[in-house]
């Protein structure tokens, strides 16, 4: 009986269908970087999705009355709220999202989160290629699980930054997920800052960060995808590190080839400012992560200094 009463209300108030709300919810998740807060009254997301459907005041506020038998009382829930919840619940049942109770265990936040399956669906709805996952910073439950694993792992005493079991890089679904987890974990651990210049910059979408996760020992040399073989670097410093313009000594002090090789007059300049001047300074140190366990591995740093750095 309850179903038909709710169904009637949905019809009377010309509410969107649950399927339409499900699709909209997936897109809202995508636009919010893969996570949105649990629905509650006055929560911005509740209004945002209502705006997408141009719901009028009555549609947003009309209340559904249900009898809560356990406590023998009447529960009043806004119909729109109930519809949103039903859509979220249905997406969770079909494994397109994780429920706030499930996400809580992973992130300590009560949020709805996209799964890889839901992420694929959101891309499909926008006619975007699945390859976009490699560059878009959208969170998914599976990737966040890897982030957690990487961040919480204790560094083994006999840590080896090389993965010699890896012969040829084969791109599998698993290895792509691992890479995305590596990138996300490293930039989170360094607080979204470049560890050389401290640059922290976010795009207007509040999702995309300027900073990138760099391997100290590159993949092509069998470097591992973990925090001890990673650095968070801005694009300029990522490039300069990869081509060997600078490296670090064992005390994480920056050493630079710019000290011995003078830059050409017109190189490294932005207007009158030499953008690379700080690399010439002898007292520049890597900005280490807060937790000692997350510090870059010295063997990996030494390898970079000997093999990539150009004196
Ligand atoms: Zn930088």
* Rounded distance from Cα 64 to ligand 1 centre (Å): 54
Q: Which two tokens stand for residue 288?
A: 């280490």
Q: What letter would DSSP give residue 59?
A: H
Q: Which two tokens stand for residue 109?
A: 């936040």
* Rounded distance from Cα 137 to ligand 1 centre (Å): 19
Write the pLDDT tens digit of every residue in 162-208.
987 766 666 788 888 999 999 999 999 999 999 999 999 999 988 88
User: Could you tell me if 183 and 292 lie in one domain?
Assistant: yes
Cα gap 173→131, rounded to integer Å = 11
Cα gap 24→97, rounded to integer Å = 13
* Rounded distance from Cα 60 to ligand 1 centre (Å): 47
* Rounded distance from Cα 280 to ligand 1 centre (Å): 14
Cα gap 170→180, rounded to integer Å = 15
Length of the chain (residues): 311
- If you average pLDDT over residues 227-249, what whole number do you get? 95
Asked, for residue 135, whether it belongs to a domain, the answer is no
- What DSSP string runs through 231-262? EEE-HHHHHHHHTTSEEE-TT-BEEETTTTSP
Instruction: Tell me which of 100, 123, 140 is where a domain ends.
Output: 100
Q: What domain range is 48 assigned to?
A: 5-100
Q: What letter would DSSP give residue 266?
A: T
The whole-chain average pLDDT of the chain stands at 91
Asked, for residue 40, whether it belongs to a domain, the answer is yes
User: Could you tell me if 204 and 293 lie in one domain?
Assistant: yes
Mention every residue, 6+ apart, whose C-beta is less than 8 A from residue 243.
Answer: 308, 310
* Rounded distance from Cα 197 to ligand 1 centre (Å): 4
User: Could you tell me if 275 and 172 lie in one domain?
Assistant: yes
- Is the overall model pTM greater than 0.75, yes or no? yes
User: Could you tell me if 183 and 300 lie in one domain?
Assistant: yes
Q: Is 240 helix (H, G, I), strand (E, B) or coil?
A: helix
Write the pLDDT tens digit of every residue in 120-160.
999 999 999 998 888 888 999 999 999 999 999 999 999 99
Asked whether the predicted pLDDT for residue 1 surpasses 60, the reply is: no
Asked, for residue 105, whether it belongs to a domain, the answer is no
Asked, for residue 241, whether it belongs to a domain, the answer is yes
User: Could you tell me if 291 and 204 lie in one domain?
Assistant: yes
Task: Kindly report the backbone phi and psi dihedral angles of residue 304, in degrees, each rounded to the nearest multiple of 5, phi listed first.
Answer: -60, -45
User: Could you tell me if 176 and 303 lie in one domain?
Assistant: yes
* Rounded distance from Cα 240 to ligand 1 centre (Å): 9
User: Could you tell me if 87 and 11 lie in one domain?
Assistant: yes
Q: Which two tokens stand for residue 177?
A: 């997920």
Q: How confident is residue 35, by pLDDT bands cut at 50, 70 and 90?
A: very high
Cα gap 257→301, rounded to integer Å = 16
Q: Which two tokens stand for residue 308?
A: 């990539």
Low-confidence winner among 28-32, 174-178, 225-229, 254-258 (lowest mean pLDDT): 254-258
User: Could you tell me if 85 and 221 lie in one domain?
Assistant: no
* Rounded distance from Cα 144 to ligand 1 centre (Å): 25
Query: pLDDT value at position 68?
Result: 79
* Rounded distance from Cα 201 to ligand 1 centre (Å): 11
Percent over 90 (pLDDT), the chain: 72
Q: Which two tokens stand for residue 297?
A: 């591995």
* Rounded distance from Cα 234 to ligand 1 centre (Å): 4
* Rounded distance from Cα 149 to ligand 1 centre (Å): 27
Query: pLDDT value at position 172?
Result: 81
Q: Which two tokens stand for residue 254?
A: 């920056």
* Rounded distance from Cα 220 to ligand 1 centre (Å): 23
Asked, for residue 113, whether it belongs to a domain, the answer is no
Query: Do 241 and 214 meet the contact criterion of CB atoms below 8 Å apart?
Result: yes
Write the pLDDT tens digit of every residue in 205-220.
888 899 999 999 998 9
* Rounded distance from Cα 34 to ligand 1 centre (Å): 27
User: Could you tell me if 268 and 174 lie in one domain?
Assistant: yes
Query: Do 86 and 95 meet the contact criterion of CB atoms below 8 Å apart?
Result: no
Asked, for residue 118, whether it belongs to a domain, the answer is no
Query: pLDDT value at position 262?
Result: 63
* Number of domains observed in the structure of the chain: 2
Query: pLDDT value at position 69?
Result: 79
Asked whether the predicted pLDDT for residue 234 surpasses 70, the reply is: yes
* Rounded distance from Cα 293 to ligand 1 centre (Å): 23
Q: What letter would DSSP give residue 251?
A: T
Asked, for residue 131, whether it belongs to a domain, the answer is no
Cα gap 192→214, rounded to integer Å = 13
Asked whether the predicted pLDDT for residue 277 surpasses 70, the reply is: yes
CA count, 13 A, side-chain hemisphere, 228: 20
How far out from the chain centre does Cα 261 lie?
A: 38
User: Could you tell me if 88 and 186 lie in one domain?
Assistant: no
User: Could you tell me if 299 and 206 lie in one domain?
Assistant: yes
Query: pLDDT value at position 166?
Result: 67
Asked, for residue 130, whether it belongs to a domain, the answer is no
User: Could you tell me if 189 and 281 lie in one domain?
Assistant: yes
* Rounded distance from Cα 206 to ligand 1 centre (Å): 20
Write the pLDDT tens digit of every residue in 62-117.
999 888 777 788 888 899 999 999 999 999 999 999 999 999 999 999 999 999 99
* Rounded distance from Cα 299 to ligand 1 centre (Å): 23
Query: Do 218 and 238 meet the contact criterion of CB atoms below 8 Å apart?
Result: no
CA geometry: angle 51, 54, 58, nearest 5 deg: 100
Query: pLDDT value at position 43?
Result: 83
Q: Which two tokens stand for residue 198?
A: 């401290």
What residues are paired with 270 via a beta bridge? 273
């Amino acid at each position: 009986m309850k179903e038909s009463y709710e169904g009637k209300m949905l019809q009377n108030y010309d509410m969107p269908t649950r399927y339409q709300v499900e699709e909209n919810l997936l897109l809202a998740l995508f636009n919010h970087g893969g996570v949105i807060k649990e629905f509650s009254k006055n929560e911005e997301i509740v209004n945002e999705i209502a705006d997408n459907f141009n719901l009028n005041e009555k549609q947003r506020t009309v209340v559904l009355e249900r009898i809560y038998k356990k406590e023998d009382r009447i529960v009043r829930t806004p119909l729109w709220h109930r519809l949103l919840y039903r859509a979220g619940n249905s997406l969770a049942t079909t494994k397109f999202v994780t429920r706030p109770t499930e996400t809580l265990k992973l992130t300590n936040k009560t949020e709805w989160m996209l799964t890889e399956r839901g992420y694929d669906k959101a891309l499909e709805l926008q006619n975007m290629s699945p390859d976009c996952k490699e560059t878009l910073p959208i969170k998914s439950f599976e990737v966040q699980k890897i982030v957690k694993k990487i961040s919480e792992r204790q560094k083994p005493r006999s840590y080896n930054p090389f993965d010699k079991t890896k012969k040829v890089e084969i791109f599998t679904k698993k290895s792509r997920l691992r890479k995305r987890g590596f990138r996300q974990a490293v930039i989170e651990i360094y607080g979204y800052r470049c560890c050389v210049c401290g640059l922290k910059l976010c795009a207007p979408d509040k999702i995309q960060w300027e900073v990138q996760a760099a391997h100290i020992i590159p993949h092509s040399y069998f470097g591992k995808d973990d925090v001890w073989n990673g650095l968070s670097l801005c694009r300029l410093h990522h490039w300069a590190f990869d081509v060997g313009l600078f490296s670090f000594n064992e005390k994480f002090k920056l050493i630079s080839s710019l000290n011995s090789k003078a830059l050409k007059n017109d190189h490294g300049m932005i207007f009158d400012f030499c953008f690379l001047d700080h690399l010439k300074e002898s007292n520049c140190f890597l900005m280490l992560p807060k937790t000692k366990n997350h510090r870059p591995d010295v063997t990996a740093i030494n390898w970079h200094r000997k093999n990539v750095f150009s004196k």
